[in-house]
Amino acid sequence: MKPKTILRWVAGLLILAGFAGIWRLQHRIDATLASARVEQDQLTLRSPAALKRISLEYAPLMAALYWTRVVQYYGEKHRLHQTNLELLWPLLDITTTLDPQIIPAYRFGSTFLAQKPPAGAGQPDRAVQLLQRGIAANPDEWRLYQDLGNVYYFDLHDYSKAAAAFTEGSKNPNSYIWMKTMAAKIAAEGASPETSYFLWQQIYETTKDPQIKKNAEEHLILMRAQLDIKAIDQISDQYEQRTGHRATRMVELIEAGLIRGIPRDPAGFPYVLDESGKAQLNANSPLVEKEKTVLERR
């Protein structure tokens, strides 16, 4: 082999070794940057109006870029289990000012804002503000009323406003038929497990965001358990009416012919009756821990 060819081979190998070094070095730099990341969270230009002027005719493109930044910001915070989402509102404010027709920013953005930390920013008032802005700019977008109703119902527990939002949305001929009946039900009863279950089911079936879907699924599983417990308590009431005393074991309900077997929760663990005869989750069920986490979030 000629000396020049050998030199070229050596140079080629050096380049490969160099990139291996780059790979290792970049990991270290990433770690250094990650430790300083909280300090680097910032938004140089906070004025949406100024940004819109600077963007000239490219405001929709800028809005798309800002929306991408919202998603990356939220995703990154979620991944790092960081709860300080103080830039979420300014970023959404800028995005929707640059392009008021950007519907996903209102829909997903309000969910990110409304949920309690660590799932969201815990700012339901901002979520309402965002959705009302979206409705004003897009009055035909009836799904925004649905989202507004959900924020009032789940996060602010303001049932009259939730009912009003669903009623307003139901006026759109393209809206879901259930919105009108749901509005009437909430106006009459306020919160109920059946209503909550139905609304979470709607979120689960219609959302495209995997995190929102997962959150809805967790709620549905827990609500299913709550509805089961409510049904078991009703059966226990019947048992008490018949026998004059409250059952404290599931076997008593089976022997009385009121249930066929011991009912199980969605995780497969049998429900139990406590000393006062109230149905509850099995202490070994993973739903007990899940219930604590979800309740903390709400």
Q: Which residues bind another protein (CB under 8 A)?
A: 8, 11-12, 14-15, 18-19, 21-23, 25-26, 28-30, 32-33, 35-36, 39-40, 42, 44, 71-72, 75-76, 79, 210
Task: Tell me the closest approach of the beta carbon of residue 38 to another protein, in angstroms.
Answer: 11
- Give CA separation, 73 vs 92, 113, 142, in Å: 11, 13, 28
CB of 33 to another protein, least distance (A): 7
Residue with tokens 């770690």: 31
Residue 21 CB, nearest distance to another protein (Å)?
5
Q: DSSP states of 156-179 as a string?
A: S--HHHHHHHHHHHHTSTTS-THH
- In angstroms, rounded to a whole number, what is the distance separating the alpha carbons of residues 151 and 106? 12
Spatial contact of 199 and 153, defined as CB atoms under 8 Å apart: yes
Which tokens go with 232? 């078991």
In the complex, what is the shortest distance from the CB of residue 199 to another protein, in angstroms, rounded to a whole number? 24
Name the phi and psi angles at 185, rounded to 5: -65, -45
**What's the min distance (Å) between Cβ of 88 and another protein?**
15
Nearer to another protein, 62 or 162 (CB): 62
Q: Which is nearer to another protein, 21 or 60 (CB)?
A: 21
* Torsion angle (degrees, nearest 10) of CA 172, 105, 97, 59: -110
Instruction: Give the contacts of 280 (CB within 8 A, at least 6 positions apart).
Output: 229, 271, 272, 273, 274
Count Cα neighbours of 213 within 13 Å in the Cβ-side half-sphere: 6
Nearer to another protein, 79 or 260 (CB): 79
* Of 79, 56, 76, 78, nearest in space to 68 by CA: 76
Minimal distance in Å, beta carbon 204 to another protein? 16
- Looking at the Cβ atoms of 105 and 128, the one nearer to another protein is 105
Return the number of the residue (173 or 210) whose C-beta is nearest another protein: 210
Q: For residue 273, give the 3-state DSSP assignment.
A: strand
How many residues appear in the chain?
298
* CB closer to another protein out of 65 and 191: 65
3-state secondary structure at position 10: helix
Q: Which is nearer to another protein, 7 or 251 (CB)?
A: 7
CB of 85 to another protein, least distance (A): 15
Please identify, using beta-carbon distances, which residue of 19 and 192 lies nearer to another protein: 19
CB of 156 to another protein, least distance (A): 29
- Find out whether 128 and 154 touch, Cβ atoms under 8 Å: no
